[in-house]
Structure 1
């Protein structure tokens, strides 16, 4: 009999492969469309109050927020990227002239002394491996975002927004006790408001 954790691992492999199978052209179209979808999502909010936003560098077929980063730069909104600090994440300022280093997973991180405490961020866009229409999410399995935001109240900053390709949606995901809830999930085709 397959345990729930084994089921998550199997599903994680399948969904990672699905997003890796997307062509470079499909990835670019998805990144372009994502900007319009996020702009629409934010249009109902007080975007003039946005000062600090965290994104990520796409890896392993993840939908790329690189054009979203340019969108925020055009509005003079500071952008930050996650940096592994022990078992949690710090958020380092990202600029066009950032210097880089690779973390233990081979993912680039900015080299800077300019960090923002997670509570000072307005929005955190995080990558997903899988999601469902109820706001369930499946990450890579490292638990970094879950540990970083474990004590965050749903009504407190920052808003946590998952980004994914449509092919990563499943009918239902089991929610574990350690899974930090998202406020929204955005794909190029839809926005799911969770809480």
Structure 2
């Protein structure tokens, strides 16, 4: 399906504005509810498989839902946590701890300083930021394409499991998806856990 750049960009602007319009209190409450949604819905799916040992998150920016409470839950559960670092046109992942040192990338977003990086395909779970999503697993990002290029060759049922994190206001009925858009296996919001049909 082909869509105009303008239609995707217009939708992106509308959804970015919707998430940026949330108050500080609404943002904080949404972030706390993510942990409960994870515990109630995603953790049980992992009972019959090895617990995730390597999980990637992100630092919230531009009104994105913040995964910091999720991160703290993973730290308490002794699960290794990673953050993305831009490497040319793709992402590699650096370990994230309370003592991480920081640098800023070309977009002004903080990244951990590291000498060793984990390959994306060595992760068990990746929680992705997004601008918009639909129940079919479609994800509209900021437009840089970093996650799409990083996971372009990943088969749907291969690790890592790709899970979008979003505010409820970021859901649409159907996204204008392009051939290069990598589908999500699930979406976690403050009020729901959506398993996709991908």
Shift of 1:135: 1.5
2-side partners of 1:118 and 1:90: how far apart? 6
Q: Show the counterpart of 1:154.
A: 156
Matches within 5 A, 1:30-179: 30-40=30-40, 41-46=42-47, 48-179=50-181
Q: Name segments (4+ residues, structure 1) moved above 6 Å.
A: none
TM-score (norm 2): 0.94
Q: For residue 27 of structure 1, what is the aligned residue in structure 2?
A: 27
Q: Deviations over 1:47-98 (max 9, x none)?
A: 6531100000000000000000000001100000000000000000001000
1:26 partner SS: helix
Matched pairs, number: 193
Runs of 5+ in structure 1 lacking a partner? Answer: none
TM-score by length of 1: 0.96
More deviation in 50-59 or 169-178? 169-178
Unaligned runs of 5+ in 2: none
State the alpha-carbon separation in 2 of the partners of residues 177 and 51 from structure 1: 31
**Worse-superposed segment, 107-116 or 45-54:** 45-54
Deviation of the 1:4 alpha carbon: 2.1
Structural RMSD (CA): 1.1
